[in-house]
Amino acid sequence: MADLKKHDTPMIDELKKGPWPSFADDINTRAESGVQCCYDLLGQMELSYVHKETHWKHGGIVGVFGYGGGVIGRYSDAPHEFPSIAHFHTLRINQPASKFYNTKFLRKLCDMWDHRGSGIFNFHGSTGDMVMIGTTTDQLEPIFFDLTHQFDMDLGGSGSNLRTPSCCVGKARCEYSCLDTQAITYDLTMTYQDELHRPAFPYKFKFKTSGCPNDCVAAIARACTSIIGTWRDNIRIDQKAVQAYIGGEIKPNAGAFSDRDWGPFDIQKEVIDLCPSKCMYMDGNELKIDDRECVRCMHCINVMPSALRPGVDTGATILNGAKAPILEGAQMSTLIIPFMKMEYPYQEFKDYVELMWDWWMEEGKNRERLGELIQRQGLRHYIVDILGRKPIPQHVKEPRSNPYHFWKEEEVPGGWKRDLAEFRKKHLA
Ligand code: HEM
Ligand code: HEM
Ligand code: SF4
Ligand code: SF4
């Protein structure tokens, strides 16, 4: 490999010294197997460290025929020094729902990427996709052809469009999942192909689907629309199993905390007292739940999975507006629809998506995410005027920020007129 050009990278080399795995190590290993662009990548990064500024320039749209999203164009502004990364575009590939692969598929994909790109992958990007890091403009169409014809894969979303929908493993591995997360993600991906591939939105838009309130895909923290599985009937209780937990025959938390001695399981301390809505109690030997007060947090179910299970009337809670702190601050999503049945073809959900998107596309400023538009124009306006829904107590943006209710005369028994003498008589000290 005598023709490879290695750059001096004293600062990057520092990154390899820690006890943790380093991306610099990984790129270097790849470079040593004879890949010039990886040496150039490290060289350009060293230059950025010296100058304290990036040497990647953004410029021009680069994509594949018919698609505006999926390829993130990157060019070096020092192409003479680092010719093999003069173009170094990233591709987002639509990952299979729940990210299931077999090794045969992965090997084949790696071979293709070794041949047509840098050989560097990111599994997975924060949006969820497989991220193929670094290739040249002339390879984009061949890669797209290979992906769609040999791998049955499509490009994912990038730019101001629908980003690749993603979900947790759901029913595939998790018996508590209240939703078929994969079916929903697949359907949304197929239904909104145009929105996924052709940027026409004010900014990015994300759907994420979690099978239950444990929210393993963190939909509540990251998605413009979080679809989170829940139930509206009662938690199923197996009283015999409750006794087995109390008696120590079944390990709490499915044995997850058995690495040291935590003492005997105490249902009062570890379950009942930690229920956020304080709706559980022991009635003699029976565990009781006042399900009307339960907020579906999953805590009790996680601690005693053999005794407690979600109900059987399952569906989704829909939330809107999570985002990272680009314009305002970081934001978690806000509850919009407490319960919606999620059954194929998901028509109720899609009707709601249309209302939401119409408003956002009409009113959203350039680079304003749905959550910011809701913040700017108001949650009340969004829920009442745009979605045509009735407000409910759970829609309060911050609990207790406005504790006052202004009654109308017709809502008050007897109206505003009071017999003062009568009133004072009642309130004598
Ligand atoms: C009709 C007259 C007034 C009304 C209806 C009124 C109402 C309120 C309300 C609703 C709050 C907010 C409570 C909260 O967020 O928990 C508040 C806070 C406050 N008000 Fe008034 N207020 C009035 C007059 C005044 C006057 C004349 C003063 C002072 C001279 C005053 C001093 C304060 C202070 C210092 C707070 C803040 C307390 C805190 O930060 O915890 N208010 N008032
Ligand atoms: C040096 C003078 C004052 C100080 C240091 C002061 C301090 C405070 C503080 C710390 C609170 C919040 C209590 C809490 O959060 O529980 C409060 C509440 C309040 N203060 Fe004062 N205060 C002063 C003068 C006044 C005056 C002159 C008025 C009225 C003329 C007033 C009216 C109120 C009211 C109405 C609230 C309750 C607001 C609410 O939360 O509903 N304060 N004050
Ligand atoms: S969110 Fe719920 S259903 Fe999905 S993987 Fe986590 S625990 Fe399982
Ligand atoms: S799910 Fe959460 S709120 Fe509901 S009963 Fe269990 S601990 Fe309480």
Show the CA angle centred on residue 21, arms to residues 16 and 27, nearest 5°: 65
Quick check: CB of 296 below 6 Å from ligand 4? yes
What pLDDT was estimated at residue 401? 53
pLDDT class for 397, splitting at 50, 70, 90? Answer: low
Q: What is the average per-residue pLDDT within 15-28?
A: 91
Whether the per-residue pLDDT at 419 is higher than 90: the answer is no
- The residue among 156, 148, 252, 162 whose CA lies nearest residue 206 is 162
What pLDDT was estimated at residue 155? 96
Pocket test for ligand 4, best of 232, 279, 290 (most atoms within 8 A of CB): 279
What pLDDT was estimated at residue 176? 93
What pLDDT was estimated at residue 1? 52
Half-sphere exposure of 164 (CA within 13 A, CB side): 29
Letter for the amino acid at 51?
H
Quick check: CB of 280 below 6 Å from ligand 4? yes
Pocket test for ligand 4, best of 300, 302, 308 (most atoms within 8 A of CB): 300
Rounded Cα–Cα distance for residues 388 and 272 (Å) = 38
In the three-class reduction of DSSP (H, G, I as helix; E, B as strand; rest coil), residue 330 is classed as coil
pLDDT in tens, 120-152: 999 998 889 999 999 999 999 999 999 999 999
Quick check: CB of 161 below 6 Å from ligand 3? no
Pocket test for ligand 4, best of 267, 280, 303 (most atoms within 8 A of CB): 280
Q: What is the average per-residue pLDDT within 24-32?
A: 95
Rounded Cα–Cα distance for residues 268 and 266 (Å) = 5
Whether the per-residue pLDDT at 400 is higher than 60: the answer is no
On whether the CB atoms of residues 237 and 308 are closer than 8 A, the answer is: yes
What does each C-alpha distance from 314 to 180, 228, 419 come to in angstroms?
10, 11, 52
Q: What is the average per-residue pLDDT within 254-276?
A: 94
Nearest-CA residue for atom 8 of ligand 3: 174
Question: Which ligand places an atom closest to the C-alpha of 403?
Answer: 1
pLDDT class for 326, splitting at 50, 70, 90? Answer: confident
> Looking up tokens 């239950």, which residue turns up?
212
Q: What is the average per-residue pLDDT within 364-371?
A: 95
CA-CA-CA-CA torsion sign (65, 70, 76, 81) = negative
Q: How far is the CA of 405 from the centre of ligand 1 (A)?
A: 16
Residue with more model confidence, 175 or 397 = 175
Quick check: CB of 310 below 6 Å from ligand 3? no
What pLDDT was estimated at residue 57? 87
Whether the per-residue pLDDT at 248 is higher than 70: the answer is yes
Rounded Cα–Cα distance for residues 132 and 409 (Å) = 64
What pLDDT was estimated at residue 328? 73
- The residue among 190, 194, 225, 182 whose CA lies nearest residue 207 is 225
Quick check: CB of 298 below 6 Å from ligand 3? no
Letter for the amino acid at 319?
L
Mean residue pLDDT of the chain comes to: 93
- The residue among 53, 127, 49 whose CA lies nearest residue 90 is 127
- The residue among 208, 224, 210 whose CA lies nearest residue 180 is 210
Other beta carbons within 10 Å of 331:
18
Q: How far is the CA of 107 from the centre of ligand 3 (A)?
A: 28
Residue with more model confidence, 265 or 398 = 265
Quick check: CB of 297 below 6 Å from ligand 3? no
> Looking up tokens 């692969």, which residue turns up?
101
pLDDT class for 324, splitting at 50, 70, 90? Answer: confident
What does each C-alpha distance from 103 to 33, 117, 149, 415 come to in angstroms?
22, 20, 19, 73
Rounded Cα–Cα distance for residues 235 and 259 (Å) = 29
